[in-house]
């Protein structure tokens, strides 16, 4: 029945875009079931001025266009955003699917850069990151880092059911941190996978759990 079709919003990761491999996988897989996946571009209006606050505002606006509570699929930094959104927006978020979520992102000195590079970022006011969506270096304002410290994903509690998929060979997100995050939340089911941060090789395995979690046949 059309009324049972979920609203799916994919939240892409840092220096990524709606054209990423994982976004396209979910879009194409769900399209075969007649379900549209929305993916706001958090690089807009420009990457340099991106902040977590701006991303939350963009997601708020995206969900305002939905007629049903949204299921959020968040990858890496998008997973951080999904966690924060679940707590902030309550019943407007139905459930979460988190792919290698950067649960420690709100901690000072988080994994984006070592402390000496963060100091340089502050000194110069911006830092250039390789952006996979653009295929080149792009500057990002230090305001991004300052703003990120306002949001403690690891300490955020939410009531919605969630699936987390985490690679044990992830060099960016520590799987032990994700295990601690999941262990403290009875509404979270964690699957540890023999994969890296991208989880590309595990997408068919992930879909086997996601499909019933979304109530799809």
Q: What is the mean pLDDT of residues 175-189?
A: 97
Is the pLDDT score of 6 beyond 90? no
- Structural domains of the chain, ranges and CATH numbers in brackets: 2-108+152-213 (3.40.50.1820)
Q: What is the mean pLDDT of residues 66-80?
A: 95
Which residues is 129 bridged to in the sheet?
Answer: 138
pLDDT at 111: 66
pLDDT at 69: 95
Is the pLDDT score of 1 beyond 50? no
Question: CA 217 to CA 211: how far, in whole Å?
Answer: 7
Is the pLDDT score of 109 beyond 90? no
**Sheet of 188-193: strands edge to edge?**
37-38, 7-11, 70-75, 93-99, 162-167, 188-193
pLDDT at 145: 93
> Which residues, 6 or more positions from 203, have their beta carbon under 8 angstroms from its beta carbon?
22, 25
Per-chain mean pLDDT for the chain: 94
pLDDT at 107: 76
Q: What is the mean pLDDT of residues 182-198?
A: 98
Q: How far is CA 59 from CA 10, 30, 81, in A?
A: 10, 20, 9
Q: What is the mean pLDDT of residues 47-63?
A: 97
pLDDT at 98: 98
């Amino acid at each position: 029945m059309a009324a049972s079709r979920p609203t799916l919003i994919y939240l892409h990761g840092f220096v990524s875009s709606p054209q990423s491999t994982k976004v396209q996988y979910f879009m194409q897989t769900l399209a075969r079931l007649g379900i549209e996946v929305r993916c706001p571009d958090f690089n807009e209006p420009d990457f340099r001025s991106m902040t977590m606050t701006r991303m939350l505002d963009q997601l708020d606006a995206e969900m305002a266009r939905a007629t049903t509570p949204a299921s959020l699929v968040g990858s890496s930094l998008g997973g951080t955003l999904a966690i924060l959104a679940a707590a902030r927006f309550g019943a407007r978020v139905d459930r979460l699917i988190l792919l290698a979520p950067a649960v420690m992102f709100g901690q000072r000195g988080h994994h984006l850069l070592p402390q000496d590079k963060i100091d340089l970022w502050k000194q110069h006011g911006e830092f250039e990151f390789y952006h996979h969506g653009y295929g080149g270096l792009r500057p990002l304002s230090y305001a991004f880092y300052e703003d990120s410290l306002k949001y403690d994903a690891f300490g955020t509690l939410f009531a919605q059911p969630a699936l987390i998929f985490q690679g044990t060979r992830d060099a960016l997100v520590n799987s032990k941190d994700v295990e601690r995050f999941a262990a403290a939340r009875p509404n979270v089911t964690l699957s540890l996978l023999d994969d890296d941060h991208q989880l590309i090789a595990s997408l068919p395995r992930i879909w086997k759990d996601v499909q019933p979690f979304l109530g799809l046949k």
